Amino acid sequence: MIQFLRVDKEKINPAEFSVIAGREAAVFFLKRLLYLILFIYSTQFLAVALPFVKTPFTPVYFIGSLATFILLARVANHIIKYVKFSGGKISVAPAEIIVHDSKNGYRISTESITYLEHNILGNLVIKEKYDRISFPLMLLAEDDREKLLAAFQDMAPKRTKNYRKIWEFVDAVVVALVLAVHIIQYIVQAYYIPTGSMEDTLQIGDHLFVEKITYGPIIPQMFGMEKSLHLSCLGIRGVERGDIVIFRPPHEQDKDYIKRCIALPGDRFEIKEGSVWINNKKLEEPYTKGITRWYNFGGEKNEIDGVVPQGKVVVLGDNRENSQDGRYFGYLEIEKIKGRAFILYWNTSQVLNFDFSRFGLIR
């Protein structure tokens, strides 16, 4: 934020403010470094994990890169100024301002000061008619910074107040957005069912929550990563037969599917006599609608009879006669599974009919 100040001799009380040192300085620079790392990570994370947009979302990279450049410039300025002003201080009085760096002292008569500028790098620039001197305002303790600025008169207090409100609003929105996207990526996400491929378990118009804790978090593919990273070791358990899962199938880039896991790695999977057979035993599936059989989806057919490979599962829709599932795209890699359908919480048409019988845990 840029703030312009003027000297008001009646407002200035004699005071002295010293540049931070020792542990206080170490904590200051550690916080700035951690904040910079967190900001760079958040930019990358938002670009690849924002819901409802095609990722990576280029505008996030652009805005984040611009803000990162400003942050880097501020950190570099703090380091340079700390080297120059280590052990330094600034003294203010009605007659003069004295700035001390690590070697020299500079006396500035308040009569010669045209104005002072609190600039975007965090410096207090004292401008005279033919000269100027810059003091590292950010290298003062927070209370000292406020007291020093209060010693001068703001030339545009309304603008400063508005800028501060805008900054607080933007900061709150960005923090809320980052937290929300992390919750969606790693904990729970809302989904809407647009098709009837899971009828009658899930119906068109259903709104549900998918939890992402059971199978472990999936870190999205960010800069420097060859692919997304599934930390299954942090999950509660692996995928089990009967789980209703959300995933991105091999042939899709931007659309998530929801199906039921039918066969696990090492299972012998077969479709015969209108049913699913697992390890030579007919699988009892009271949740299905229609007959289970092979379909030729637009000339493509994946006959996945046989032993399911390691690291893969077979998923099918409950509506067996109207579902593009494993019979279409083949085996599903477990790493592609994003979460497990957890709670059905809304269906507009049913709510309008006062029917809440289906709401609750999804099985």
The pTM for the full model equals: 0.84
pLDDT, residue 90, reads 95
Same domain (yes/no): 264, 210: yes
Beta carbons within 10 angstroms of residue 330's beta carbon: 17
pLDDT, residue 6, reads 92
Domain of 288, CATH number, reads: 2.10.109.10
Domain end call among 179, 203, 218:
179
How far does the chain reach from its first CA to its final CA, in angstroms?
Answer: 54
Same domain (yes/no): 74, 112: yes
For the chain, 363 residues long, give each residue's pLDDT as a single digit of tens.
689 999 988 888 899 999 999 999 999 999 999 999 999 999 999 999 988 888 889 999 999 999 999 999 999 999 999 999 999 999 999 999 999 998 889 999 999 999 999 999 999 999 998 899 999 999 999 999 999 999 999 999 999 899 889 989 999 999 999 999 999 999 999 999 999 999 999 999 999 999 999 999 999 989 888 888 999 999 999 999 999 999 998 887 778 999 999 999 999 999 988 999 999 999 999 999 999 988 766 555 567 888 999 999 999 999 999 999 998 888 999 999 999 999 999 999 999 989 898 999 998
Same domain (yes/no): 342, 319: yes
Which entry of 81, 134, 212, 259 is annotated as an active-site residue?
Answer: 259
Same domain (yes/no): 63, 172: yes
Same domain (yes/no): 333, 205: yes
DSSP collapsed to 3 states, the chain: CCEEEECCCCCCCCEEEECCCHHHHHHHHHHHHHHHHHHHHHHHHHHHHCCCCCCCCHHHHHHHHHHHHHHHHHHHHHHHHHHHHCCCEEEECCCEEEEECCCCEEEEEHHHEEEEEECCCCCEEEEECCCEEEECHHHCCHHHHHHHHHCCEECCHHHHHHHHHHHHHHHHHHHHHHHHHHHHHHCEEEEECCCCCCCCCCCCCEEEEEECCCCCCEECCCCCCCCCEECHHHCCCCCCCCCEEEECCCCCCCCCEEEEEEECCCCEEEEECCEEEECCEECCCCCCECCCCCCCECCECCCCCEECCCCEEEEECCECCCCCCHHHHCCEEHHHEEEEEEEEEEEHHHHHCCCCCCCEECC
Cα(114)–Cα(277) distance, integer angstroms: 87
Same domain (yes/no): 198, 66: no
Which entry of 42, 134, 197, 323 is annotated as an active-site residue?
Answer: 197
pLDDT, residue 310, reads 95
Residue pLDDT, tens place only, 312-359: 999 999 999 999 999 888 899 999 999 999 999 999 999 998 989 899
Residue pLDDT, tens place only, 182-214: 999 999 999 999 999 999 999 999 999 999 999
Same domain (yes/no): 96, 204: no
pLDDT, residue 1, reads 65
Q: Which domain range does residue 264 map to?
A: 188-361
Same domain (yes/no): 59, 15: yes
pLDDT, residue 301, reads 58
Cα(242)–Cα(183) distance, integer angstroms: 25
Same domain (yes/no): 141, 214: no
Domain end call among 161, 179, 197:
179
Domain end call among 179, 196, 225:
179
pLDDT, residue 299, reads 52
Count of structural domains within the chain? 2
Same domain (yes/no): 264, 163: no
Same domain (yes/no): 127, 268: no
Active site residue 102: no
Same domain (yes/no): 147, 234: no
Active site residue 197: yes
